[in-house]
């Protein structure tokens, strides 16, 4: 039996956190067509959007998210409180950027979430930054009649993601090696 469970210590996990703005503007990108044929696609530019707040565990592939109408301290606090409840007895070290909403003095960090702020202007250090483009690519070229329809599609795509896919997208070698050396636990 592991010493940690014999001593009744909580599982310690590593999560990465970020938010992404998701709007009804059509996600565009390259398309494959026959030589000399230009693809034709309708592109909408509506201004409606929401924010997807999320965390991923690059070791286990677990992910959790919430939608909010704005990116601010109030919604971030709600996200933290709900995440804390979802984590149960686990204690997490959570890497996040230095967005003003994350560093607001009014933030009350739950006891089971330890913030680890990454250096400024270094989004490439946060594995969840690769998660957002992967998610948004699933509806590339589609137009949605409403923000609710888009929100429903986002929820469907999040539900389809397997832990193996999330691990593949977010499992940076330097992070996984460091976690292995530190003996972080893989979530059950």
pLDDT at 50 over 50: yes
CA dihedral over 173, 134, 21, 158, signed as positive or negative: negative
**Predicted confidence band at 140 (pLDDT cuts at 50, 70, 90)?**
confident
User: pTM of the predicted model, to two decimals?
Assistant: 0.83
Q: Facing residues of 63 across strands? A: 56
Burial class (CB in 10 A: 0-12, 13-18, 19+), 187: middle
**For range 17-31, the mean pLDDT:** 78
CB 49 within 8 A of CB 19: no
pLDDT at 3 over 60: no
Question: Could you tell me the residue ranges of all domains in the chain?
Answer: 11-28+39-182
Select from 2, 44, 5 the least CA-distant residue to 23: 44
What is the pLDDT of the chain when averaged over all its residues?
A: 86
Superfamily of domain 11-28+39-182: Ribonuclease H-like superfamily/Ribonuclease H (3.30.420.10)
pLDDT at 1: 45
CB 123 within 8 A of CB 172: no
């Amino acid at each position: 039996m592991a010493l940690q469970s014999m001593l009744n210590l909580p599982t310690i996990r590593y999560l990465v956190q970020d938010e992404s703005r998701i709007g009804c503007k059509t996600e565009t990108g390259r398309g494959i067509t026959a030589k000399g044929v230009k693809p034709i696609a309708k592109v909408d530019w509506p201004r409606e959007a929401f924010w997807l707040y999320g965390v991923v565990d690059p070791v286990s592939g677990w992910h959790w998210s919430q939608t909010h109408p704005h990116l601010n301290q109030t919604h971030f606090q709600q996200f933290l409180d709900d995440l804390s409840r979802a984590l149960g007895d686990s204690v997490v070290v959570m890497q996040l950027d230095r967005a003003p909403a994350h560093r607001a003095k009014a933030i009350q960090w739950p006891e089971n979430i330890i913030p680890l702020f990454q250096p400024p202007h270094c989004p490439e250090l946060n594995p969840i930054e690769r998660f957002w483009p992967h998610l948004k690519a699933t509806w590339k070229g589609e137009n949605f009649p409403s923000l609710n329809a888009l929100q429903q599609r986002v929820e469907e795509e999040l539900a389809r993601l397997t832990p193996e896919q999330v691990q593949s997208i977010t499992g940076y070698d330097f992070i996984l090696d460091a976690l292995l050396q530190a003996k972080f636990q893989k979530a059950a």
